[in-house]
Structure 1
Amino acid sequence: MILVIGENNKLEKLINEVNFSELGIMERKDLQEWIFECPEILGEDLLIVTKEYDKFDKTNKRLDILAIDHDGKLVVIELKRDVANAFVDLQAIHYAAYCSTFTLDQVAEIRTEDNNKSKDVNKEEIIDFIENKEFSDFDNQPRIIIVANSYKEETLAAVLWLRDNGIDISCVKLESHKLDEKIVVTPDIIVPIPEAKEFMVYREQKSKTLSKGKITEKTFFEHLNQYGTHFFEELFKFSDEKDLILNWGGTGFSLNVRIGNEKVSLLQGYCDLKVTGQTMNSTVSMISKKVENGDIIVSDYVEKTLDLNIFRKVGNGFVFDLERELTDVEWSKFKDVLSHTIENIKKNGVKLSDDN
């Protein structure tokens, strides 16, 4: 929404967002051209290399825009006129993989096709644009920027997961508004949030270092705030009482119910080394998959937990963002739900199927 302010600082009108398609804006003819001419709309200064590039080896796929940033990284820009569908991240990864072998000489040659300058001139302009003094050639890890009018939750979840695993991928939302006979387009960087970008990059780098092995309990607790510390201390006490299996991963752990020789994940906990921050998540998929009457148990587990009005629903499960302390009463009720669910899992047992 845009507020139009007139004389004497008085509100003249409110203008609601309109989809690009409703305005007759085309992806290649319009959106691509705007970014090609003014890449700054994506929130940073980029040097455009080419658009509509389709000369990759052994594929006829067409890259929307290829650019370079000041650090000397290739930037693959994938455009969607309206909603970024569930496969846009995969498309962008394909293009990044295709571009990962490009050298400085190749990129300079590609750029000549759009600006009619010589290869040497383009190479010189590229080197002048790059501010990284250690740059000698492009590495094999291009950045990715997805540009769309809106994003599905599943797409953003995939993007965050990719960032958590070392892929430099960002999402920019372009909002369009009709102002009299003109169209106003405003950018909004969805991932990473600009105010938290430096912190997120730091955390991702640290997480990547630690992910080479499993995190220790000591390191885990060193990366929690007071709410996370108190919550997980209490949860671990409950885990000991119920003889749950604690498995550590790269940035957190899972709590598992023991059923004979099998284990079924009940919860996962993460510290702030994970991109999404310190959280406690339900792990309902394994209950459904491994336990007899698993879907019924999951439905009961999630419903009773959400009824506590402590956790928020995410997908088929729930998550707690650890932004406050639980009261003694809330803890008691949550433990009752967990105890009931553990009892149900053990009582129903593991499915007798080929899946297990």
Structure 2
Amino acid sequence: MSGKIYMIKDDDELVAMNEKKYKKEIDFQDLLEKYPDLIPGDQINSENPRRWLLVEREMGLPFEEEGARKLSLDHFFLDQDGIPTLVEVKRSTDTRLRREVIGQMLDYAANAVAFISMEEIREKVNSQYDELKLQDDFIAEDTDEKKFWQKVKDNIEEGRIRMLFVADEIPQELKTIIEFLNVQMNKSEVLGVEIKQYQAEDEKIRTLVSRIIGQTVEAQIKKGKKRPDHLLTEEKFFENLDQYGKNFFRELFKFKDDNELIINWGTTGFSLNVEVDKNKVSLLQGYSNIRANGQTMYSTIGSISKKVEKGDEIAADYVKKTLELKDFKKVNSGFIFNLERDLTQEEWAKFKGILSKTIKDIKKGV
């Protein structure tokens, strides 16, 4: 059933936009290749929104090791945690968008896990992406390229993949199957993605609206993505630090209070933010030993660059000066400090001075 959405123009005119079906499946595929963010990563994981790296469109998959390429997957993506994401696109008018597409996707998944290698995926990525751009714009902030590709390898070997059925409308019988599989499959994730398009009769613009199908609360909890009431508190955070971590974060929290910084707690750590005119700009992040990689402090420049005037300059100066401190190491576009020793009073004075200047620059620029 077709629907409408409404747009209010600058002159307060209400314009109705009618749902419009995609003419060809290839048009749908073109959109996903050009705009991967149409797959709403924030709906898949609101705490850590998924980002997408297209490995290949119409990717060939073998039926057997070193066998001929007999399967063709519409899109093969990786997310920032190296999870292979298989995408099959169908229009709602395609009669195969029922049980048949489920079997097709399971074929893709089984053969991808069995026969495709991390090395092959890496070769395809490196052939089309600049190495520095890949590291700066995609790889998770607190890791590096070597660790990222190790995650890809581990995910493939352990069968940890994501299967996405993309259509302009997911039929109820497919939705039921998707929800069932997503609950039952512990390692893998099975979801539908509806991407509806709307267009006004007298306008040359169109609007695309995406939503995830099959992300039930039961599935989220089972896969460890939804942890109601399990955000860390300061007390719980400090319980999971060794003495170096406690010393570091006690001093950092004193600085936080003196400078009226805002802390946002997560499930394994926190972010420290500068608040200006209700805008929050992330300055750094801290993690306890609950996190797999252990207690650490790191900072990225994405929030500063995007939200602050001359943010790139401010962030570059912030990172450059911090990296002059002993044991502060570059990670992607930011820096990391593994809490394996105490900072001296002189080091603290320098670090606080850098943070103070950066905070001042951020407040001027927002």
Report the TM-score, using the length of structure 1 for normalisation: 0.48
- Structure 1 or 2, whichever has the larger Rg, is 1
Between the two structures, name the one with larger relative contact order (CA 8 Å, sep ≥ 6): 2
